[in-house]
Structure 1
């Protein structure tokens, strides 16, 4: 069993390549060999560029005759060589039944003899170092990078109405030399006059004007206008924003932002299914501009055979600070699990603050009144006050369908029971995810990894309310095992002398370990597939363990990719099936990736 898991982890990339090569159109293009006379580094770079083009070019995939492929790729090699300054290069191709051989004679590389900047002297002196200097090769990428350097400097230090930077390279072919000239087109220098917003119907105008961060008299900058438009869109209240600049007058220009408001109300209906919980429905309503400054009110209900809830939430962005938000919520919930039955009413509030683009901290308070009954035990009443502290690092590119980046989320949540002084404990959870995608490979495979650990400290396991303990198993944990089916169980004595003792339903634990590995493959723009391996367990006592005590499940899934989030269908199988406890497989249908 452990050997199988090792093979799944270490052999996954090799298995993918073998499967891919077995697909008919994977190797439809003829094999190629490339040789560059006297320059191994250039040879390796050209080979990488050709391989990347073969993985992404639909034109190449449509060719059937190897001679057409060779003609197309010979043109590509010529363009690549010129982009590196090889203007006298020769490319020859030899087509045979074994593939295509390319022989490249690069010739001399064109070098830059001089670089001139045609622009006002006061700008020229502050630009600093360009990516090219006299004596360097005439590299097209670095030439364009020089344009961006000049544009960036002028955008930050000049008040030009228009910034137009161009370049001209004059080749001296017989000497393999070139003169490079950067030019800035003449444009008047202006400052901001009146700044207005048009098109608003319900959003508070003063609130949006504060988002512009533009004041009369400021130095005019197209970059600042673009940044202001982006801030308007990020309020989630505006569907489109465009700026209109007047003709200059007396050294100033007026700017009008023409906006279109989004629809602020949304009704949502959804369905889902899991083998362990059955079919479920969700319904929700939200208003994203309840007070005219982007405040959101959301009401959502969920119902399936084992869980029902009704929740209301108020979210106030830019709470006293631009990068700070406040949320308050109230929830009624009822659960009928194998491990326990619980009815609860919860009130909570949280303040979150973005420390940077990727880092967020939060602090809050929550009061939860609950009635909890474990199987075979009397009902207990709890009045739990908790003060959650959180930190999150998020560099992913998409919240519901990440393809690159990573997250790290840590929450420390102290609990105190207002009615029972002995029920005081601290619940800690840490979740890590990572994503990497091979954009240049067939099916753009994404390797996704999730690791989660949790610890409850301060009291014994059975003194922690059953609905606050850790459980493992289910669609968001270890697929292939029923929801909350993994973890410690109590031994129930036999009902009569000589009988066999039995195990109780899961009782939960004070430690949790989970790990998931997914390979995601995008077949088309709307369909993708997934192979996954999940492992996890809950433990009666800390610390969490990531060794032989984990239970493992594996399976496959399909995703239908919508404009909002993927629709998910997974079928999972337990690799360590327990007699009379586990089914042969589990099915999960929901919205969004598993993690």
Structure 2
């Protein structure tokens, strides 16, 4: 029989009656016997002893159950008014409020209601499943907002406080939440973060708890605290590598720089394993694989035994080159782009370099290079490893445009159309048009890149150009051929060179001092330009340390009535020295000379000039040097230029104050006298292809007629 504890004091009589009726206490005898029997043994009227109730005190379990008679005697005496009507026993109920009828409701019809119930349900697809849109208050200025403070303990002592705050959900919330539940969720997330960070540096018994505390004072009424307990630090015990022997024998050990007794730091472990996975392919093992580590922790000694399985695979040497896909290059031309010889020990760095060189041709939509096993054994026991080049052609044509502006040279725009593989392999046709305030022209160029050697270029140029510059006006036709070995962003070379031949026919005006007038003459020039460069800088486009040296020499012959041989030469040196991590001092000195010819017999376009963005900034283009009686520059047979910059970089931006100096001389050797100076400041925006440059400069001790301010915009550093 189920037990209930009744509390009947203070209950009005009628309510007590209802309770008793509901509980069965006033059920008639037959019904009570049936209920009691159901609670006892089958077939018996008396109830059996109830099993002990779980959760009930033992002293209560031992008490006898109160019988119905005892329970009835314990009830208080009911009122004598039990025979009165119920409405006299209970307080009067409040009057019912009339309910307004539903507008437009149809009259209740019993037959109609039955017909409506009996009607079939509409098909499911006819139900309107559009959710009922509830109005949402926009820009609710009264939205609840809880501001909280974050407190972290236990992590600063082990050097994890900054890293924790960088990743913390509490910190990421900026101290604001909609309710306390969100703050608690963020705090619990930070508990797990703290534990993960501590375990990552060797505290494998670490724990963390979070609490929320009300702090009525101040503008943050809640403080979320994450308390971290690192526990003991675990260190490496035995370090074991499961791998076959390598050549050299210590190849893996030399790169897996983990030592017994060091803390088990996850970052150092991952870095050491990555070093092994990189070193093996770089030293002849193209198919090596680093397996899953195993660290067995010992709670007694606080150490972890580390095991790393490594599958080294066969040691290999470069074999043949295979191609697959929509071929752009045959294996023979791909071999030209390699920086290794067949039978060299396999090196993944050289494979990556080959892939980069293929991408640099801009002829592929996608290209990949991967090693392939051949099963062929070399005499030294290594395996020949072929390289499989998968090629997918890309668009070979390019339409490009570039433009610039500088004071003295005005606006210059150039548009070019290029087919990079019109004459395979890598035989390009380039058509160019130039339009500007001082230059107009067109040219056609045939260029073969990687001509028999990587980064060696052969090109033939035919051009026609009209020039209207400060020193002269000219109509020039040029036919030239050139072979060059150049540095590229992929492969910056210490030694570069170029040689070629040039045939020029030009009609230019010059000032004739004998007649004291300007006249036009026609010159035919044959030249053999030569170039050599030595580069010890650390970057091709944006050097920060090192030096460069360039030498240009051009034996030439000018024919205007008579042949006059001469030689033009120029030498330039630059140096780059870092002062701090963000400041680099850069300097340049450049000298030029023309030997073997008088200035008046030299075509104006072959003379030296100074001034402008690539020369002495602050002065206009060709503004420095001797002038004719009509005030226009006439150029010289020698010059010198000097420049110094302080390049200060912050992020992707930079500020560059600079000072330039230079002069042009009538003599065949520079005199290092009468130097003119220009000063200014520049801005730099650094991109992945080089810095964009904007320089503003002005002459020092400016003379009448010289530029007040000069502006230069271009790509790349000034030098």
8 Å CA contact 1:83–1:141 kept in 2: the answer is: yes
Residues 109-139 of structure 1: CA deviation (Å, up to 9, x unaligned): 7543322111234679452534234345545
- Of 280-289 and 166-175, more deviation after overlay is shown by 166-175
Which of 601, 604, 619 is the equivalent residue of 1:481? 619
Correspondence list, 1:187-206, <5 A: 196-200=322-326, 203-204=329-330, 206=332
- Using a 3 Å threshold, how does the CA distance of structure 1 residues 577 and 206 change in structure 2: closer, same or farther? same
* 2:700 match: 576
Q: Give 1:552 deviation, angstroms.
A: 1.8
- Using a 3 Å threshold, how does the CA distance of structure 1 residues 219 and 276 change in structure 2: closer, same or farther? closer
* 2:478 match: 346
8 Å CA contact 2:622–2:633 kept in 1: the answer is: no
Q: In structure 2, how many angstroms separate the alpha carbons of the residues matched to 1:184 and 1:79? A: 27
Q: Is the counterpart of residue 319 in structure 1 residue 454 in structure 2? A: no
Correspondence list, 1:461-472, <5 A: 462=599, 465-472=603-610
* 2:658 match: 533
> The residue matched to 1:290 in structure 2 has which SS?
strand
* 2:273 match: 147
* 1:425 match: 567
* 1:358 match: 493
Residues 165-198 of structure 1: CA deviation (Å, up to 9, x unaligned): 4433444465453322221259799999997533
Q: Is the counterpart of residue 455 in structure 1 residue 592 in structure 2? A: yes
Correspondence list, 1:231-270, <5 A: 231-242=357-368, 257-270=389-402
8 Å CA contact 1:470–1:511 kept in 2: the answer is: no
> The residue matched to 1:302 in structure 2 has which SS?
strand
> The residue matched to 2:610 in structure 1 has which SS?
coil
> The residue matched to 2:483 in structure 1 has which SS?
strand
Q: In structure 1, how many angstroms separate the alpha carbons of the residues matched to 2:230 and 2:277? A: 33
* 2:464 match: 332
* 2:241 match: 117
Q: In structure 2, how many angstroms separate the alpha carbons of the residues matched to 1:482 and 1:224? A: 47
Residues 227-279 of structure 1: CA deviation (Å, up to 9, x unaligned): 65444324332231246899999999998643221211112234433332333
Residues 437-469 of structure 1: CA deviation (Å, up to 9, x unaligned): 999xxxxx6757352412215357836543333
* 1:512 match: 641
Q: Is the counterpart of residue 278 in structure 1 residue 410 in structure 2? A: yes
Correspondence list, 1:111-190, <5 A: 111-121=235-245, 125-127=249-251, 129=254, 130-136=256-262, 138=264, 140=266, 142-155=268-281, 161=287, 163-172=289-298, 175-184=301-310
Q: Give 1:371 deviation, angstroms.
A: 4.0
RMSD: 5.5
8 Å CA contact 1:453–1:514 kept in 2: the answer is: no
* 1:373 match: 509
Q: In structure 2, how many angstroms separate the alpha carbons of the residues matched to 1:73 and 1:415? A: 75
Aligned length: 525
Q: In structure 2, how many angstroms separate the alpha carbons of the residues matched to 1:202 and 1:62? A: 51
> The residue matched to 2:482 in structure 1 has which SS?
strand
> The residue matched to 2:276 in structure 1 has which SS?
helix
Q: In structure 2, how many angstroms separate the alpha carbons of the residues matched to 1:292 and 1:286? A: 14
Q: In structure 2, how many angstroms separate the alpha carbons of the residues matched to 1:298 and 1:554? A: 37
- Using a 3 Å threshold, how does the CA distance of structure 1 residues 410 and 573 change in structure 2: closer, same or farther? closer
Q: Give 1:206 deviation, angstroms.
A: 4.8
- Of 533-542 and 244-253, more deviation after overlay is shown by 244-253
* 1:13 match: none
Residues 349-393 of structure 1: CA deviation (Å, up to 9, x unaligned): 333336974324213123243444334454453524233122142
- Of 255-264 and 118-127, more deviation after overlay is shown by 118-127
Q: In structure 2, how many angstroms separate the alpha carbons of the residues matched to 1:336 and 1:307? A: 6
Q: In structure 1, how many angstroms separate the alpha carbons of the residues matched to 2:563 and 2:168? A: 69
8 Å CA contact 2:413–2:436 kept in 1: the answer is: yes
- Using a 3 Å threshold, how does the CA distance of structure 1 residues 288 and 168 change in structure 2: closer, same or farther? same
* 1:20 match: none
- Of 310-319 and 194-203, more deviation after overlay is shown by 194-203
8 Å CA contact 2:614–2:718 kept in 1: the answer is: yes
- Of 369-378 and 294-303, more deviation after overlay is shown by 369-378
8 Å CA contact 2:399–2:416 kept in 1: the answer is: yes
Q: In structure 1, how many angstroms separate the alpha carbons of the residues matched to 2:492 and 2:713? A: 33
Q: Give 1:146 deviation, angstroms.
A: 3.3
Q: Give 1:324 deviation, angstroms.
A: 3.1
8 Å CA contact 1:358–1:395 kept in 2: the answer is: no
Q: In structure 2, how many angstroms separate the alpha carbons of the residues matched to 1:172 and 1:550? A: 77
Q: In structure 2, how many angstroms separate the alpha carbons of the residues matched to 1:292 and 1:193? A: 25
Taking CA–CA contacts closer than 8 Å with sequence separation of 6 or more, which of the two structures ends up with the larger relative contact order? 1
Q: Unpaired runs of 5+ in structure 2?
A: 1-149, 177-182, 209-217, 220-226, 377-382, 512-516
Higher strand share: 1
8 Å CA contact 2:429–2:444 kept in 1: the answer is: yes
Q: In structure 2, how many angstroms separate the alpha carbons of the residues matched to 1:432 and 1:142? A: 41
Q: In structure 2, how many angstroms separate the alpha carbons of the residues matched to 1:255 and 1:238? A: 17
8 Å CA contact 2:195–2:228 kept in 1: the answer is: no
- Using a 3 Å threshold, how does the CA distance of structure 1 residues 558 and 353 change in structure 2: closer, same or farther? closer
> The residue matched to 1:288 in structure 2 has which SS?
strand
Q: In structure 1, how many angstroms separate the alpha carbons of the residues matched to 2:596 and 2:341? A: 58
> The residue matched to 1:581 in structure 2 has which SS?
coil
Say which one has the larger Rg: 2
